């Protein structure tokens, strides 16, 4: 019976309470934040929990026939947009030229590697060593071809 009373008292004393969080400084100068008083520490400040946030009201529905406010979107005048489009087209055309040069170089390197025959490579079509040696060169050609296709698609979207 005595055990039951003691455990009941302990349980009630440990019930959660709404306490404010305080900032304490201990004797060594360390800062401690706690909602329980700290022995041998000086209370510096206490903080109240923030008030509950009210639900935001949804924006009002636009009225039929009403024009939206002028400052809702940043607009660019036609000459500025034309200049930007021209700069983008020029950059894409330069990238296309570089990729075409890279493709030509990659194809030349692949053809050069295909013409080389090492003494241990017997059947060119079936020898895995040959295929492994040529694979990076073939991948370089494929990469340049994909890049050229993508750049041409972007250029077509500009016009």
Tokens 């330069």 label which residue? 94
100 and 147 belong to one structural domain = yes
Q: How many domains does the chain have?
A: 2
Q: How many CB atoms lie within 10 A of CB 130?
A: 20
Q: Which of 50, 39, 46 is nearest to 20 (CA)?
A: 46
38 and 108 belong to one structural domain = no
Cα–Cα distance measured from residue 159 to residue 150, given in angstroms and rounded to the nearest whole number: 15
84 and 32 belong to one structural domain = no
Confidence of residue 1 (pLDDT cuts 50, 70, 90): low
**pTM listed for this prediction:** 0.49
pLDDT, tens digit, for every residue of 144-155? 999 999 999 999
Distance of CA 144 to the CA centre of its chain: 27
Within-domain flag for 12: no
Confidence of residue 97 (pLDDT cuts 50, 70, 90): very high
Range of the domain at 139: 79-158
140 and 85 belong to one structural domain = yes
Cα–Cα distance measured from residue 97 to residue 91, given in angstroms and rounded to the nearest whole number: 10
90 and 152 belong to one structural domain = yes
Confidence of residue 25 (pLDDT cuts 50, 70, 90): confident
Mean pLDDT score, 25-32: 87
Q: Computed over its alpha carbons, how large is the radius of gyration of the chain? A: 37
């Amino acid at each position: 019976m005595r055990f039951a009373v003691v455990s009941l008292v302990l349980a009630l004393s440990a019930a959660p309470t709404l306490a404010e969080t305080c900032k304490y400084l201990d004797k060594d100068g360390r800062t401690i934040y706690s909602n329980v008083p700290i022995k041998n520490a000086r209370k510096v400040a206490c903080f109240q929990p923030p008030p509950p946030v009210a639900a935001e009201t949804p924006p009002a529905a636009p009225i039929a026939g009403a024009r939206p406010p002028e400052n809702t979107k940043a607009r660019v005048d036609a000459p500025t947009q034309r200049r930007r489009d021209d700069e983008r087209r020029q950059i894409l055309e330069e990238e296309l030229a570089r990729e075409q040069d890279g493709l030509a170089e990659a194809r030349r390197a692949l053809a050069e590697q295909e013409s080389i025959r090492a003494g241990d490579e017997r059947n060119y079509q079936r020898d895995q060593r040959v295929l492994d040696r040529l694979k990076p060169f073939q991948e370089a050609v494929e990469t340049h071809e994909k890049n050229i296709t993508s750049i041409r698609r972007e250029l077509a979207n500009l016009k």
